[in-house]
Structure 1
Amino acid sequence: MANSCHKAKTFFGTCQTIYNVFSNSTKRWTVLLNYIDDLTLKSLSATRWESHVESVKAIITQIPQIKEALTQLSEVCEDGKVCRDAKSLIDGEFSSFEFILSLVIWYEILFKINLVSKKFQSKDMLLDVAIQSLDGLVTFFDNYRETGFDKAIIEAKKIAETIDVEPEFPVKRVSCRKKQFDENPNTEREQQSAKEKFKTDYFLVLVDMALSQLKTRFEQMKHFETIFGFMFDASKLYYLDDDLLKTSCLDLEIALTYEKDSDIDGDDLFRELQSLQKMLPKGAYEGAKPWTSLEIMEFTKKLDIFPNILLAYEILLTVPVTVASAERSFSKLKLLKSYLRNTMSQDRLNGLAIISIENRFLSNVDYDKMIEVFASKNARRHHFR
């Protein structure tokens, strides 16, 4: 979305510039803190785009205070470049209704995406819950495309009043050129107002890009649902008739087959699920909260008589909803292998990476005992003559 049009690129460049003006000096940061109370400005993350909502939130909720801080900075700062940057922000973006409207639009978009993204990254996230969340996000963008622009203008006008900005779109001078005799005039495009151009060239581009990317991800999730959908919860599994249950088991066998080897046997899985349907307690499939796939697997593990069911649920629960944890593991490398550690061996790098990635286990490690074991194994006795 951020690279889909020029205005989106410059918007986040402006957000980073506002942060850099204050953060590059402790004195300038003190000037900012004299005007704001709650949220400090945040730098844009290079890897986690949904975290941009923190930067946008800090600006949109404190526009009058930040504008006053920039005004003060442009008057008292001794650095000419900083004075020029602060003054250009005051006369440019902080006096532009388009920038305020962009803040409202991006904050609404990023806030919704951030909610779903954080939910996806939870350790107990299940595939069926992820599909529901993604479906809800797609529905939000469909509705936001129709009604979001008008609501964003109303919200932007309220913010513009607090900093004395006229809620108007700048009208650019249209360059006149001589048209050819056989040229078809684009009268509809030429007659668009500045507001309509902003909507078609910026707002709709962002939302359409978000929808296309989300629907691509949603198609992948739907593919998994066609394979494992009958195992998502106890209510779906219990009320499935024998014909559909057998068809689903055979389809699952085909999906988990590579060349001539298959992880499960479809016929055996069907017979095991028939028995499991009769053994499930009544509370597992009735009521507002039926058992999840994780609870069914735990129940199956206690019985210890359904090997195909247990293996199928293990595969289902290990399908990754996101790759956030893997990406964070690789992000540790730039903290470990820096320019000051160029000569680090591969074994040492692997060891430090594992320690950093699995740091939650280190809190339960007895270091004194480890040191004693290490010292006893490496003790050397030399006899000197």
Structure 2
Amino acid sequence: MCKLETAIYAVFWHDILGRVDATSHALQDPKLDLNTAVAMLKSLECFVREKRDCFHVYEKKGREMSETRDYLQTRKRQRNVRLNPLDYGRSEEAALSQSEKFLVQNFLPAIDQFLSSLDQQLKAYEETSSLFGFLSKLESMNCDEIEAAAAKLVAEYKNDLDQTLGVELVQFTAFFTQFLEDEDDEKGRAHYLYKLLIDKKVVDTFPNVEIMLRMYLVLKVTNCSGELFFSKMKFIKNRLHTTMCHDRLSHLALMSIEYDILREIDFEKLIKNFAAARSLKVPGL
């Protein structure tokens, strides 16, 4: 922290990573609405973009932290005139102060690289939101808007959804609005709509709506922490399992991470079918 450059980075990344951590926690909530996730990422992108004009603020804080006002002096290499004697067409380099050099060569590139990575993640969220985002505002949409949103979804998933999705959604919207007072606020809208279909036993009436909701609910909209996978790997792939193939390792890791769901699955029928297929008994003996 005795260097001014280090102090500037420390105060800058403290602000940025603090907001990134808070946003990441919100995105990991399984009950988070898709449109809210997009809004969260857009707000984070806006926050980081505004920091491009705040270099003087971080420079001032860095000088207070490091108790120095001077940047590290870098030795400028002189161009060998004998190797390149012709200066025709060359313009003299702009004379920049040490503060301006750090701004142009270090501070702004770091922010731009971060914004580029954040923009890639935001595009993935926006693509999903453009298809399924209307589910959170169905009751406020008119018939034409619902059918237009359904047509866009059918065009994307031609092999899974039928053209009748639009008219089904119009009727389904009128159906579920009668039960909105029973909705549990702690659950997401899509979870509530799917549960309503099952509880009221109207899946056969709205088959395409049921398929659409299942497609949406299995999408990995929330962020998944990579550290959890690596912490599980050390228990699965140890010195006794060094030759395990990639597919088997991935499947075992997923089963270990989602053990709570795995425990609720009934494997009795699967075990019986496996035992029957592997049975060595000869029929009639």
TM-based fold match above 0.5: yes
TM-score, with length taken from structure 2: 0.74
Q: Structure 1, unaligned stretches of length 5 or more?
A: 1-93, 365-385
The offset of 1:312, in angstroms, is: 1.0
Instruction: Check the 8 A contact 2:147/2:170 in 1, yes or no.
Output: no
C-alpha change, 1:105 and 1:352, in structure 2 (3 Å) is: same
* 1-structure distance, mates of 2:58, 2:151: 50
1:1-385 → structure 2 map (5 Å cutoff): 94-147=1-54, 149-160=55-66, 165-177=67-79, 178=81, 180-188=86-94, 191-231=95-135, 233=136, 236-257=137-158, 262-267=159-164, 269-279=165-175, 280-281=177-178, 292-305=189-202, 306-322=206-222, 324=224, 328-329=228-229, 332-339=232-239, 341-342=241-242, 353=253, 356-360=256-260
* 1-structure distance, mates of 2:188, 2:260: 29
C-alpha change, 1:252 and 1:134, in structure 2 (3 Å) is: same
* Residues matched between the structures, number: 253
% identity of equivalent residues: 25
* 2-structure distance, mates of 1:203, 1:97: 13
TM-score, with length taken from structure 1: 0.57
The offset of 1:124, in angstroms, is: 2.5
Q: In structure 2, the residue corresponding to 1:304 is in which secondary structure?
A: coil
* 1-structure distance, mates of 2:263, 2:222: 27
Instruction: Check the 8 A contact 1:332/1:353 in 2, yes or no.
Output: yes
> With CA pairs under 8 Å and 6+ residues apart, which has the higher RCO, 1 or 2?
2
Instruction: Check the 8 A contact 1:301/1:310 in 2, yes or no.
Output: no
Instruction: Check the 8 A contact 1:126/1:317 in 2, yes or no.
Output: no
2:169 partner amino acid = L
C-alpha change, 1:325 and 1:310, in structure 2 (3 Å) is: farther
C-alpha change, 1:171 and 1:127, in structure 2 (3 Å) is: same
**Post-superposition CA distance 1:45-77 (Å, at most 9, x none):** xxxxxxxxxxxxxxxxxxxxxxxxxxxxxxxxx
C-alpha change, 1:355 and 1:310, in structure 2 (3 Å) is: closer
